[in-house]
Structure 1
């Protein structure tokens, strides 16, 4: 690679960052960009005067103010006006205590001059660093507070929108007192205590089925037999009597089924009585429930039909009375209803 090409690449490497920095800073005050260009062309006196005037007018962002003090300080340093250079560079350090000049862009004497000023202002710069650090913490805390307030306001706004899109429905349920005396947990089911109602229904059902089965099993043990009897009034005739009995061989089975039938019946009525007492204890004549439901939009009402012609006749010179009908929709507890209104 030739020596000239190496020099060209080195120059581009030094100029490219400066061009990019200048383009990034051009988005601020246009006069700051103009002063930067004048400084590049060596118009130091013009830069010093115009930068001081622009600083005095105010209305600059902190980074723009830092840039103007730097340009004015370096311009004064290049002109040999050390008092003005010291004043502007001190102001620069008070804005940014850790500011440093780029040694690849700024001549070494200017860099050394700024470093000497930092040494003279060590205690002041340390105080400014602490103050700046506290200011940044306050700004961070303030930004976090504003963000929290914004999030809370957003949550409240969404909550308000949800409430506005919902409607509170109050349901009044009237309960029948006589249902409490119905077996199989009917009273508990009416009161919404379904678990206990299932217990009563299952227990009473099992006892009832057991009692019925025991009854039919006990009845199946009976036998019928005709027993002849002598007819006292008619010695030649004979009469028979049908007898229903349980054979002695089935006596043990009969006792077992009889006991099971009676005990299951007694258990059924005991559980039934407990269910009735429990239902009466928890009985309420009416229960009011409040629910929140999404607000439903009503469909557009049907167009009103044309007025109906009147069938009454009117005297000449007078206006005949007219009749009209109107159909409308309205909200009900179960949905929508329709109504017909007649006007005479």
Structure 2
């Protein structure tokens, strides 16, 4: 199997993600040092959907607050913001962040090594209060995932059917044979055979052959009878046998019979030929379409890919190493 490796360098918004982390660390530093008010302001700015996404080098110290976009960093920022608000005794605002965390990630569990017990208790209380909403969100997501799986399965089934149909079409060849009206005017069922009506073709072939053959044989017999010499033989000489006399009446009977057979057989032959040609012209099929098999090349080898991540100057890059 021939193998080739291809790497597709995909910048995973390295600059933006790096700045998301930078913004989080700046706010977390305030949180860790107990400067909760300032930490809350920073968390609120980076979670504000009205702010533009963070770009490399942009900080709110320059008067340019930005919005983080990485889902995992957003979840961490909300958790720290909630913890800071709990420390400031601003429970309602903390609950709003906690609700967002739990609705986005119903399986979220606060880390006891990071959060104080009162923050963990707050998470427990909010989870109990919005349990119905969490269950509804979980149900909706499960239904959405199920619908997506079904859609993907239908898509795969459609693709398999399409490939099977393409393979079937590629493995068959449509052959068109043009028919001729001149050939349809030939006797002995040629027109019927050309039209694909083998039954009538054999009927006209055999019947016309029999009628034509009978006509020819009877014509030869008639000619033979008509050439018989009926002149009376001279008297026999001494010592010579007497010449055999021809039975004229019997000969005439044979001539009449041969003539009648010839007329009937020739008439039958002519009638069958005319009927066969007329039928072939009336039922004429201009073309005949047939399908024949042809070889199909084997499918190509399957493609496999493996992710590759590297840290390069200027950002984080991901690659895909493929083998086919």
- Shorter-chain TM-score bucket reads 0.3 to 0.5
Given the two structures, how large is their TM-score scaled by the length of structure 1? 0.42
- Higher relative CO (Cα under 8 Å, sequence separation at least 6) belongs to 2
